[in-house]
Structures are given as C-alpha cells and as structure tokens.
Amino acid sequence: MELGEDRQIRKSIPFLRKKTVLFVDNSNGPFYYLSDYNLEDIRYMSRETGYSFIYLPEICKYLTSRFVQYQFPGLEGVVSPEAMYQQIRTIANLNGQAGFLYKANRRIYFHAIEADTERDLMEATDQFFHALYHRQQEESREIRLRKSSKKGSSSILYSSFDIKCPEPSSQEVLQESNADLPRTLFDAIDEETAYPDVEDIIDAWDRFERQYHISIKDLATLLGYRTKLSRLYITASNQIFLTDWEDRPEVKLDDLTKALYFFYLRNPEGAAFKDLPDHEEEVLQLYLNITGRDDIQGIRSSVSALCASYSSGRDSCVSRIRTAFRRIVGDEIAKKYYIDGPQGGVRKVAIDRDLVIWEH
C-alpha cells in the first residue's frame, strides 16, 4: 500500500499525538519482538522524519506488577502487548492487519504492511519511513514554493533522504536525559513492599511518561480498564479495609483523623471546613467511640481544635487521609475515597455510600 493510499482512522487513538508512529502487530500471528538493535535503527529512521516511534512490547517490559496493581487495582487479565494491540485494533477497526498508525496534519492514518519475519518488518519499516519522509519533503516544498512565489524568489530544495542527523529537538534532549530509566518501571521499589513510597512512584512515572509520551489515562485505555472501586469496610474496632482489591489493604489512620473521616463518610452531602464548628458534637461522639483515651477534657480540646473554622491540625488530618489512600492506589482512584472539594467550598467524600460497609 502506498503512503498516499493509507486509510484514515476516524476514531481517536490513545497517546497518538502529532508526529507519532505506533506499530500494530498482525493479530493472526506470528508476532515478532524487535531486538534492541533493530529498535535503535527504527528510532534513527523516525528521528530523521521528526516522528516519535512507539513500540508496545518495549513499554510493557517496564510495567511491574506492583505498578499495575497500584494504578489499576482489580485489573482483570494479564498486561501484555498482545492484549494492548487487540484493544487498539478494536478501537481503530483494523481487523487482523499489521501496520503503522501515525498522526499527520491532525489526522490519523493506518499504513498496512505484510511481514512474516522480523526481517520483513524491518524492510517494511524502512520503506514506510522513507515514504513518510519524502511526503513531508513534498509538503514542505509546496509550502516554500507558495511563500517564495509571494516574495518573487526561489529556494533550493532537496528531495533525497538525508542521512545526516538534524540538530536534536528539545524533546529529544529531554529523552536523552532520561536514558538511565530503569529496565523495569520502579526498579528502585522493593516488590515485597506492601505500600511503595508514593513520591518514588510519581517520579518514576513522570520519567516514563516523558520517555514514551503515555499518560495514565492513555494506558488505561490501552488496557481496556474501567475504574473499579472497592467496598470500604469499617470493622467494629474501626479498622478500614478496601476489601475488593488484592491483599485487602488496610487504610491506616490515627484516631482523630478517623473521627474526621467518619464524619464525612456519614454525611454524604459534605460540609465546608468553616461550618465544622456546627458539627463539633457529632465529631466528638465519633472520636469517643474510637479513641482509647479517658481524658475527657483533653478529648474535647482535641476535637474543638480539629473543628475550628481555621485549623492547621484539620488540614493535616485531611492530608493524611489523602496520603493513606494514595499509598494504596493511584490518585485517579484515591480521590474517590478521600475528602475533597473546592477551596472555601463544601468538602465531600465522593464514593457511593452503597460501597461503604459499617460492621457496627
């Protein structure tokens, strides 16, 4: 298929941004994993055309089970490039064809190829990028001719594939700076650690996203993931568990923070922080049911400080709740569970109360 005959794709494809090429394998197999050597050759070709090349098997090898469970708790099925390709083929209606999805001039196209071996794939890739390069040259020529005709001057144009590397773009410089990305995402995180450090996860993902131009939402689409919330189970001893996720993680909070959190759980309509003094008695009763303290005056003083219209202690409690959930799951899901809302406005816990189970 000639480049000019490529089929336009009408649907949006995850992370297929301007000047990006995504290889899609043949669903009928066999599937060939490109070697690091061949990947380097392809990346050289893509740089010559100003495009970024995305290869899903390379991305998958960076996704540890700990990261996947953190960002997508309850995800069913195995994370694999084959599964991702199937999702892309479904979105783009590609049937079983192999080829390149790419975005040019704000439109998405599919360039079909036939490749039974890795060598066939490399040859097809070489032909594709050469055709892409020459088309860009033609488009550039037309633009410059139009400009020169207006100025009454001519330009010297080149149509051959120039093998000299262009000056690196700022994006390429950024990618070069991330060359030390670990072989697997979050290698620095101990796989046996129940709750990996959130900052480590965020930092590692930021580097991964810059390297491969993939957001969490893009990855969720590729995995066919739909948000699956766990039930929030509160025991008679006031422990908090997310019972529908792997290992039934416990949300650990101190007693005073639990009292504030339980108040918001029991009041779905929420409350602005400035209005908490009106609910001080309710928060006090919740705290009395939780704490093992017997200093009534001290308990009242703690709750009064917590419910004050302007309270740094309350802000710290809200931050601890947010951090406790984010240590278990990514923020996209955690925000369904923690106290949230506009500055100065009504704060709420978003989770459907049908998912909140009280043992007492």
Question: Would the CA dihedral through 44, 49, 50, 56 be positive or negative?
Answer: negative
Residue 262 C-alpha from the chain's centroid: 30
Check residue 186 and give its pLDDT: 52
Report d(CA 99, CA 120) in Å as an integer.
12
Count Cβ neighbours within 10 Å for each residue of 22-40 and write b for 16 or more, e otherwise: bbbbbeeeeebebeeebee
Task: Answer for the pair 32, 117: CB distance below 8 angstroms, yes or no.
Answer: yes
Check residue 214 and give its pLDDT: 84
Check residue 154 and give its pLDDT: 36
User: How confident is the model over 162-198, as pLDDT tens digits?
Assistant: 333 344 444 443 344 444 444 455 554 444 444 556 7
- Token pair, residue 357, equals 């189970």
Domain map (residue ranges) of the chain: 3-222, 232-358
Which of 329, 306, 331 shows the shortest CA–CA distance to 316?
306
- Token pair, residue 289, equals 């049911």
Supply the Cα-derived Rg of the chain in whole angstroms. Answer: 27
Pairing of strands 98-104, 20-24: antiparallel
Mark the ranges of the chain whose per-residue pLDDT is less than 70.
1-2, 4, 29-32, 139-140, 142-144, 146-197
DSSP letter assigned to residue 210: H
DSSP 248-293: --EE---HHHHHHHHHHHH-TT-EEGGGGGGGHHHHHHHHHHH---
User: How confident is the model over 262-308, as pLDDT tens digits?
Assistant: 999 999 999 999 999 999 999 999 999 999 888 999 999 999 999 99
**Any residues with CB less than 8 A from the CB of 192 and at least 6 apart, and which?**
none
Check residue 30 and give its pLDDT: 64
- Token pair, residue 141, equals 């020529």
Point out which residues pair with 349 in neighbouring strands.
339
Question: What is the number of other CB atoms lying within 10 angstroms of the CB of residue 258?
Answer: 25
